[in-house]
Amino acid sequence: IALSSRNIFSVAHRYMSCRPMSSLSEEVLLVVKKVRQRKQDGTLYLMAERIAWGPEGKDRFTVSHLYADIRCQKISPDGKAKIQLQLVLHTGESTTFHFSNESSALKDRDAAKELLQQLLPKFKKKANKELEEKNRMLQEDPVLFQLYKDLVVSQVISADEFWANRLGDINNADPTSSNNKQEVGISGAFLADIRPQTDGCNGLRYNLTADIIESIFRTYPAVKEKYSENVPHNLTEKEFWTRFFQSHYFHRDRINTGTQDIFSECAKQDEKGLKSMVVQGVKNPLVDLLSLEDKTLDEGYGFCKTFPSTSNSNRTVKESSNSAIIKRFNHHSAMVLASLQFLTSSTDGNSRDSDFFQPPVKKVKLQEVIEYEDLQRENRPKTVALNLKKSDRYAHGPVPLQSQHYTTSQDIINSVNYIRHEMLNYKPNLTQVLSSTTASSAIAALSPGGVLMQAATQQAINQMVPTEVQGELKHLYAAAGELLRHFWSCFPVNTPFLEEKVMKMKSNLERFQMTKLCPFQEKIQRQYLSTNLTGHLEEMLQTAYRKFHIWQTRRMLRKT
Amino acid sequence: MKLNIEGLLVYFPYDYIYPEQYSYMLELKRTLDAKGHGVLEMPSGTGKTISLLSLIVAYQKAFPLEVTKLIYCSRTVPEIEKVVEELRKLMEFYSKQTGESNNFLALALSSRKNLCIHPEVSALRFGKEVDGKCHSLTASYIRAQRHSTPDVPVCRFYEEFDAVGRQVPLPAGIYNLDDLKDFGRRKGWCPYYLARYSILHANIVVYSYHYLLDPKIADLVSKELAKNSVVVFDEAHNIDNVCIDSMSVNITRRTLDRCHTNVDTLQNTIQKIKETDAAKLKMEYRRLVEGLKEANVARETDVYLANPVLPDEILKEAVPGNIRTAEHFVGFLKRFLEYLKSRLRVQHVVQESAPQFLKDIFDKVCIDRKPLRFCAERLQSLLRTLEIADIADFSAVTLISNFATLVSTYSQGFTIIIEPFEDRTPTIANPVLHFSCMDPSIAIKPVFQRFQSVIITSGTLSPLDIYPRILDFRPVTMASFTMTLARTCLCPLIVGRGNDQVALSSKFETREDFAVIRNYGNLLLEMSAIVPDGIVAFFTSYVYMENIVASWYEQGILENIQRNKLIFIETPDAAETSMALEKYQEACENGRGAILLSVARGKVSEGIDFVHHFGRAVIMFGVPYVYTQSRILKARLEYLRDQFQIRENDFLTFDAMRHAAQCVGRAIRGKTDYGLMIFADKRYARADKRGKLPRWIQEHINDGSLNLTVDEAVQLSKHFLRQMAQPFRQEDQLGLSLLTLEQLESEEMLQKIAKIAHQT
């Protein structure tokens, strides 16, 4: 694969979308004039949380995207007549800006690109995490998923409204998980992901993402060093990566490439690193091939091995390139592993440099190897299996509501003594007990067959209605519950925002009643089932409406 | 638990026992009773070592006069240490049960590199350097010099040991390598020499094969070991190669050049000594006239283990007159050297037998057979006399003299091949003289002759009958044991086709075929997606692996595999591979999952276990045939055919299959372990290949797992892995593959156990 001089190169950042709630500060970071959008001249603004464009002479933005909504930016290749920047949104839409200032178009575009490149990652992590979290919640919770389908997909409420207080819940519930985010390892194949694509006109195109760049840096610290040395003083970022991909370093199987390669030093450094790793030797004596053989044959004895001689002189170019590939894979895998090392802090307590610690590891490893765990009797303390005659009793037995506070035996003895003491001094206060008639009626009411113990609607709903109606009813309840929760959470209505919301929620409720509840009722009637099923739902809705009316009339009163 | 093995009380340090362990002990007991040799195959991970140790220790305790010593030979240092640790466990169990303190002495012996505690010497990296440096500090004449000039450096640990260490025997106990070092540090004694001295009266010695099989070392270390010892060769599936290696010699131009300098040094030293201390040389001459009577007497009275480099006949004779004086001998060496040099100046490959070589050397330079035979012995004597400090420097001339002795001693079983260049690089002259042993029985013969019982055991010895044939001995027991399993924890699959129906094979004709390589890549890719944690893949050779990796890289297959797991690859460099291995284990440990690409017959395939999550699947790409174009191999095959009536193809297949079995067997290291074994070559489906796999693998290959496509294999694997992922508890095994004492003693179980051993 030959790289032509016209490498087309684009650095794209991937984003998932999630809209931050509101943007209060509108600090403008960059203003670029003479930017055309849809053949209209205008000005591009890069602000703290969004990018916006307004046509010339007007003070409102016709285009405005939150950074979190932007999946990636693309730029037109060098040499094209039009200098453009394209923003691809998470939704798939895209907006293209054409930088039309003749003198500084390229510079403008690059300034915007650079800034975006810095800004986008900040929104990315959060966006990604939230999206993942939402996805996970929906997957794990079928009820929630159904609710989502009922409310959001059928456009009763918007996705943001739906998530508004749910995400808050999880964030509050589990603050540790969001703070200690888990470090992610590097994919072994990250270099494979930047497989070059031909662009159809004799050039090659590599797609680099921020993830891949980070992977390269973490795996090959030497490259990172080079990067910080050279970018941006000597090379632009693009040139740096172009050279990286052209270098012998990247195509390790190639032998003859340019000599003034800035990465040749990296290769040397890697080589050195590899050598030092090899010289250090291995910790586990069982895998140390050098000390495996007890007594090697002296030189000159033995059956002649037909091993390829290692001297370079009589090896063909192909062979040495093959062995270079092999070395490279070993090194690459080792580096990928090493990049994980700081995550799994090695706690084997074995410093490699001192011979003093060596025997213990060896002993442990040897013991591990000669262990036959199944030949030994298991040593863990014997447990008695719980043998339940009536398991449902065990499962539905009384459960303490709160976590029990356990007392020491001394406490128990003390309290027993105390109770005994109390009992000794106990004198019934006979004037304040129930009369015998009330007491006996209370007992009667609580006995089986009594008023309070009647199995009220034991002829349960599950025997009266078909299962699919039950399922539907359940969904309706869940959806209504969700809407009502939103509705009631607006009270007390003390901000304009809540006011707006409560109005909206009321209309949502009405819409729900019209589109979901009424059809259901009709269906039930058609099937000659008791209409009693939706009574409670309606009651709940009516209560909400009543509340709303009260609130509205009060507001009207206040206004007038 | 305490077991009754045909009347022998055996203490077994576990609460439960596998049925096959019981069966194994039975067979072992019968072998010892018969005072004969045995070949026993039992899958790894079924507690072979502890069964061996338990039974033999019990036997030693019951019949202390019949079996005085157990010599346990293993292959690698970690294996040796493992054995000693298991022994420690057994001995602790003994003393807990009987309440008596342990009166056994058991120790591990290893090279100086692993035992030295001298601060400077032990810091050296290579075994050879350590040996050389140690010799320069401990040789007898160095120490003698110290009496006159006290500033000659010596090793204080050796001095201390020499002064007091021999008087009191090492107290009873179990000494691993580290324990010996600790003991040495405490007492200030050299652990290496202490261990070498102590093996003579130890009850159990654990060391590596070479100490018995390599005549150069065996002569130093093991020749005085008692005759009524039991010798165990564990992991013995490659024992024939070890034997051959220890008797083969390769001579290059570099060797000859170094030899030349050696001879010059000898000559100068002789000259110097002649001027200063002529008496010394005279004394040597007198000794040589008397001949090697001493050694002869010792061997006849059966005190020493015979040395194949020092054949019986020459012991009866005196060193021939023409090499008796030092100068004559050096002159003789020079002539021999010049002859070898002339032989290396060849343009084409020469192959000849030892008698042909001897005739040629007599014709050309008038060197007789007789002085050649004494060459090794004569050189040793000279080096002793001349008080050469650094023996390691004289390795070249030692090599040549050993060659001289061997070539003149054995008219059969060896071949000489002179190659002017390597096959791969015909333009570069690099002449080599291979003197290769083709008969493994030569090196091991003294062991079989001397010791009353020799047990050859391993997880993979199939087909069993081939070992007695190539090692030339007659065993009293040959048995293969299966693994009793409560759940089928191994899943051998033979993948013969790709999804596009292309036949998968590593055979030479399709080696470069892109379709095969792509399908192999596809297999690995699919497996990497479904197998958890570690996958180990073996290739038939390093070159083959290099080529495949390169084309996978070009086709982007490796990139896709990287999405699933990290990739580590074996390299020819052992240190680099060790690091890759450690990283591989780390990646399996932390959940990343990894793939190790490795080579059959390589160090990884022979010495490293991939227990549990370190190897959930092993993929064997191709059949690991040895490189058949090698002339040495061809000669060996011919020899096998002529001498042992083993057909070439049979041997090649046997050799390939034992290596394949070794590779795939790496993943299963016990009954709680589980793993896939994928044989990716259609040739495995043939009965002649399949039939040579160990029985414990073979019996799990059914018709449904032959000649699968990649997709089918993936489906079967998924199913298998899902089943294996279910919890597996001790209770599931009890009564089937795990027995309590009561269960073991039931009549029914004993009948079942009798079927486990598969006699051949």
Using one digit for the tens of pLDDT, what is the confidence trace for B491-505?
Answer: 999 999 999 999 999
Q: What are phi and psi of B495, to 5 degrees?
A: -95, 115
What CA–CA distance (Å, rounded) separates B17 from B24? Answer: 12
How much is the average pLDDT of B698-706?
90
**Ramachandran bin of B99, using left for φ above 0, alpha for ψ from -120 to 50, beta for the remaining angles:** left
* B85 reaches A (C-beta below 8 A): yes
**Least confident among A418-422, A428-432, B84-88, B417-421:** A428-432
B134 touches chain A (CB under 8 A): no
The Cα A72–Cα A33 span in angstroms is: 22
Q: How far apart are CA B476 and CA B30, in angstroms?
A: 9
Residue A372 near chain B (CB below 8 Å) = yes
Most confident by average pLDDT, A129-133, A492-496, B523-527, B671-675: B523-527
CB-nearest to A375 from B14, B436, B575 is B14
User: Average of pLDDT values for B679-693?
Assistant: 92
> Looking at the complex, does the CB of residue B180 fall below 8 Å from at least one CB of chain A?
no
Residue B209, CB half-sphere, CA atoms under 13 Å: how many? Answer: 26
Whether residue B524 is predicted with pLDDT greater than 90 in this model: the reply is yes
* Residue in this structure with the two tokens 């493992």, named with its chain if needed: B82
Give the single-character DSSP code of A433.
S
Place of tokens 């056994």: B104
Q: What's the first-to-final CA gap in chain A, in angstroms?
A: 80
Q: Which two tokens stand for residue A166?
A: 């749910």
The pair of three-digit structure tokens given for residue A435, joined into one six-digit string: 């009369």
Note the pLDDT of residue A175: 43
- Segment holding B435, helix H or strand E: strand B429-437
Mean pLDDT of B363-383: 88
What's chain A's Rg over C-alpha atoms? 37
In chain A, % helix, strand, coil (3-state, to 5) comes to 50, 10, 40
Which of the two residues, B279 and B675, has the higher pLDDT score?
Answer: B675
Say whether pLDDT at A92 is over 80.
no
Q: What angle do CA A120, A212, A225 make, to 5 degrees?
A: 95
Q: Are B593 and B622 in contact (CB under 8 A)?
A: no
Specify whether the CB–CB gap between A195 and A520 falls below 8 A.
no
**What pLDDT score was predicted for residue A14?**
34
pLDDT value of residue B191: 93
Beta strands in B76-199 (DSSP E): 105-108, 173-175
Core vs surface per residue A470-499: b (16+ CB within 10 A) or e: eebbebbebbbebbbebbeebeebeeeeee
Distance of CA B193 to the CA centre of its chain: 23
Mean pLDDT along residues B557-585: 91
* Record: contact A286-B78, CB cut-off 8 A: yes
What's the pLDDT score for residue A193? 67
- The pLDDT tens digits of the residues spanning B621-671 come to 999 998 878 888 899 999 999 988 899 999 999 999 999 999 998 888 888
Q: Give A176's pLDDT tier (boundaries 50, 70, 90).
A: very low
Range of lowest pLDDT (A229-238, B185-194, B522-531): A229-238
Task: In whole angstroms, give the CA distance from residue A281 to residue A173.
Answer: 48
Which is more confident, A191 or A172? A191
Distance of CA A324 to the CA centre of its chain: 39
DSSP-derived secondary structure for B204-264: EEEEETHHHH-HHHHHHHTTTS-SSEEEEESSGGGHHHHHHHHH-EEEEHHHHHHHHHHHH
Does any CB of chain A come closer than 8 Å to the CB of residue B246? yes
Q: Which residues of B touch A195 (CB under 8 A)?
A: 556, 559
What residue in B sits closest to A320 (Cα-Cα)?
B546
Work out the percent of chain A whose per-residue pLDDT is above 70: 70
Q: Which residue has the tokens 């206004």?
A: A559
The answer to whether residue A25 scores a pLDDT higher than 60 is no
Q: What percent of chain B has pLDDT over 90?
A: 48
If you average pLDDT over residues A93-112, what whole number do you get? 84
**B251 interfacial to chain A (CB closer than 8 Å):** yes
B631/A contact by beta carbon, under 8 A: no
Residue A391 has pLDDT above 70, yes or no: no
What the block records as the tokens of A430 is 């006979």
Report pLDDT for B700.
Answer: 92
Tens of pLDDT along A502-522?
A: 888 888 888 888 888 888 888
Please list every residue in chain B whose beta carbon sits closer than 8 Å to the beta carbon of residue A188: 562-567, 592
DSSP structure string for A318-355: HHHHHHHHHHHHHHHHHHHHHTTTTTS---S---TT-G
Search chain B and give the residue with CA nearest A358.
B178
Residue numbers in B near A362 (CB within 8 A): 81, 178
pLDDT for res A294? 75
Say if B578 is an interface residue toward chain A (CB within 8 Å): yes
Q: Which of A183, A306, A315 to mutate to test the interface with B (most CBs of B within 10 A)?
A: A306
- Asked whether the beta carbons of A224 and A244 are under 8 A apart, the reply is no
The answer to whether residue A177 scores a pLDDT higher than 60 is no
pLDDT mean over A410-435: 83
With contact defined as beta carbons under 8 Å apart, do B559 and A189 qualify? Answer: yes
Residue of A nearest to B636 (CA): A303
pLDDT for B105 equals 94
Please answer yes or no on whether A308 and B542 come within 8 Å at the CB atom: yes
Answer yes or no: are the C-beta atoms of B652 and B448 closer than 8 Å.
no
For residue B708, the model assigns a pLDDT of: 94
B749 beta partners: none
Q: Which of B252-266, B294-308, B380-394, B669-683 has the lowest mean pLDDT?
A: B294-308
Interface of A with B in 326-365 (CB under 8 A): 326-327, 329-330, 333-334, 336-337, 340, 344, 359, 362-363
Q: Is B302 on the interface with A (CB under 8 A)?
A: no
**Best-predicted range by mean pLDDT (A344-353, A530-539, B502-511):** B502-511
Which chain B residue has the Cα nearest residue A326? B569
B234 has a chain A CB within 8 A of its CB:
no
Q: Which residue has the higher pLDDT, B26 or A210?
A: B26
Does any CB of chain A come closer than 8 Å to the CB of residue B318? Answer: no
pLDDT score for A393: 67
At residue A399, the pLDDT reads 57
For A366-378, how does the pLDDT look when each residue is reduced to its tens digit (9 = 90+)? 888 888 878 877 6
pLDDT at B280: 80
Separation of alpha carbons A151 and A163, rounded Å:
11
How far is it, in rounded angstroms, from Cα A76 to Cα A98? 10
Q: What is the pLDDT of residue B325?
A: 86
Whole-number Å distance between alpha carbons of A263 and A243:
8
Q: What is the pTM of this model?
A: 0.73
User: Which of the pair, A136 or B710, is modelled with greater confidence?
Assistant: B710
In degrees rounded to 5, what are phi and psi of residue B497?
A: -140, 150
Report residue A341's pLDDT band, with 50, 70 and 90 as the boundaries: low
Q: Is B707 left (phi over 0), alpha (psi -120 to 50) or beta?
A: left
Please tell me whether the peptide bond between A492 and the residue prior to it is cis, using omega within 30 degrees of 0.
Answer: yes
Query: Do B492 and B660 touch, CB atoms closer than 8 A?
Result: no
Confidence band (pLDDT; 50, 70, 90) for A529? low
pLDDT level of residue B387 (50, 70, 90 thresholds): confident
Is the pLDDT at B282 greater than 80, yes or no?
Answer: yes
Distance from A214 to chain B by nearest Cα, in Å?
A: 17
Q: Look at residue A203 and tell me whether its pLDDT is greater than 50.
A: yes
pLDDT for position B52: 95
Asked if residue A352 has pLDDT above 50, the reply is no
* Percent of chain A residues past pLDDT 90, beyond the cut: 1
* A297-309 burial code (b ≥16 CB/10 A, e <16): bbebbbbeebebe
Q: Does B17 touch chain A (CB under 8 A)?
A: yes
pLDDT for B174 = 94
Q: What letters, b where the CB count within 10 A reaches 16 and e where it falls short, cover B438-471?
A: bbbbbbbbbbbebbbbbbbbbbbbbbbebbbebb
C-alpha neighbours within 13 Å on the C-beta side of residue B653: 16
CB contacts of A299 in chain B (<8 Å) are: 255, 395, 399
A354 interaction partners in chain B (CB closer than 8 Å)? none
pLDDT tops 70 at residue B679: yes
* The pLDDT of residue B594 is above 80: yes
User: How far is the C-alpha of B179 from the C-alpha of A227, rounded, in Å?
Assistant: 53
Q: Cβ of B575 and A300 within 8 Å?
A: no
Measured distance CA(A359)–CA(B197) in Å, rounded: 25
d(CA A529, CA B141): 115
Q: B-contacting residues of A 193-222, CB under 8 Å?
A: 195
Tokens standing for residue A260: 């003034």
Specify the DSSP element, H or E, that contains B455: strand B453-458
Q: Give the count of beta carbons closer than 10 Å to the beta carbon of residue A178.
A: 14
The mean of the pLDDT values for chain B is 88
| Overall average pLDDT of the B528-548 stretch | 93
Answer yes or no: are the C-beta atoms of A234 and A39 closer than 8 Å: no
pLDDT value for B357:
93
Please tell me the least confidently modeled range out of A33-42, B305-314, B727-736. B305-314
Read off the pLDDT of each residue in A235-242 and give the average, rounded to a whole number. Answer: 80
In the three-class reduction of DSSP (H, G, I as helix; E, B as strand; rest coil), residue B753 is classed as helix
| A392 touches B: beta carbon within 8 Å | no
> Poorest-confidence range of A62-66, A167-171, B254-258?
A167-171
> Predicted confidence band at A107 (pLDDT cuts at 50, 70, 90)?
confident
pLDDT of residue A251: 63
Q: Is A323 on the interface with B (CB under 8 A)?
A: yes
Chain A residues closer than 8 Å to B573 by CB: 278, 310
For residues B113-133, average pLDDT: 86
Record: contact A375-B17, CB cut-off 8 A: yes
Q: What are phi and psi of B657, to 5 degrees?
A: -70, -30
Q: How many residues does chain B have?
A: 760
* Mean pLDDT confidence for B582-604: 91
pLDDT band for B393, please (50, 70, 90 cuts).
Answer: confident
Is B245 at the interface with chain A, CB within 8 A?
Answer: yes
Q: What angle do CA A114, A116, A119 make, to 5 degrees?
A: 115
Q: Write down the H helix ranges in B324-440.
A: 326-344, 354-365, 369-373, 375-386, 395-409
Among A438-447, B539-548, B551-560, the range scoring the smallest mean pLDDT is A438-447
Helices vs. strands in chain B: H and E counts, helices first? 36, 22
Tell me, what's the pLDDT at A346?
41
Taking CA atoms, B231 is separated from B57, B68, B228, B298, in Å, by: 13, 11, 10, 21
pLDDT of residue A82: 82
Give per-residue pLDDT as tens, A261-308: 677 777 777 778 778 888 877 878 788 887 777 766 667 777 655 444
Q: Does A283 touch chain B (CB under 8 A)?
A: yes
